[in-house]
Structure 1
């Protein structure tokens, strides 16, 4: 298995993964638009970085993250938006390897911490994150405003 940063050539694979992620959360399993993936990740104003775990040409999973500022004081933090491993590759160390690479990316970017959210009704994810040494942070409430595009 290898983990590397996605390139524009990975837009189709990422689009299929986005569809699988939507299905995992109860939505339709329909791929995202590869052109939109290219624009969002590799256009003039990239919004995130994606790491892909692969076994040969087969994509096993992904981690998607962005940098945030300010974190504590004037520090930066890395925000993990999505960690996803395809069903056949789960419980084989893929998520752990992706998280190690995420932490390396945070260190390389000078980030003081890595942050993320997890669904409260996903005990498997909670157990995985606890095994990594992460603890839930109960001092924040998550909010969302929908935007008309």
Structure 2
């Protein structure tokens, strides 16, 4: 198996929209709550390629199966002082390809993206407390959990 990690391109919108449905199902979203495909596809295109783009994504492409994983991220400001950070919103690799080093490669690539951007001082992300696999993955990479933040969420009606 050969996989390539590369930035998302506009021609990937359909594949990313399909993968996002897979991610939703992975997190237990009911069929009735899955966003219609055309709507999701439009939102992916606007988020990744709008003016300005809201996010960026690295894609995992398998030579046989197409897009099989992604790391979606945005840059946030301010971070430490007046620097900014790369915020990883979603890291996902299809279950059939997990535990093969692809997630590690994605994390390495994210570090490279952040390091190449002047003024980017860190990479940050969150995971659910009830996701032991993700917590074990990040722990195995040597990342300690940070207990200093409490996450809040306010709905805007766009959901």
Q: TM-score, normalized by length of structure 2?
A: 0.88
Residues 78 and 2 of structure 1: CA distance in aligned 2, closer, same or farther (over 3 Å): same
Q: Name the counterpart of 2:117.
A: 109
1:62 aligned counterpart, secondary structure: strand
Q: Name the counterpart of 2:92.
A: 84
RMSD over equivalenced CA pairs, Å: 1.4
Measure, in 1, the Cα distance between the counterparts of 2:148 and 2:40: 36
Structure 1 segments, 4+ long, off by >2 Å, are 28-33
Measure, in 2, the Cα distance between the counterparts of 1:34 and 1:67: 22
Given that residues 19 and 68 in structure 2 are in contact (C-alpha distance below 8 angstroms), is that contact kept between their aligned partners in structure 1? Answer: no
Measure, in 2, the Cα distance between the counterparts of 1:132 and 1:47: 28
Given that residues 77 and 83 in structure 2 are in contact (C-alpha distance below 8 angstroms), is that contact kept between their aligned partners in structure 1? Answer: yes
How many residues matched? 149
Structure 2: stretches of 5+ with no match in the other structure: none
Given that residues 19 and 28 in structure 1 are in contact (C-alpha distance below 8 angstroms), is that contact kept between their aligned partners in structure 2? Answer: no
Q: Name the counterpart of 2:55.
A: 48
Deviates more, 1:75-84 or 1:22-31: 22-31
1:127 aligned counterpart, secondary structure: helix
Q: Name the counterpart of 1:4.
A: 6
Q: Name the counterpart of 2:149.
A: 140
Given that residues 68 and 79 in structure 1 are in contact (C-alpha distance below 8 angstroms), is that contact kept between their aligned partners in structure 2? Answer: yes
Measure, in 2, the Cα distance between the counterparts of 1:33 and 1:86: 19
How far did residue 97 of structure 1 move?
0.8
How far did residue 34 of structure 1 move?
1.5
Measure, in 2, the Cα distance between the counterparts of 1:63 and 1:28: 23
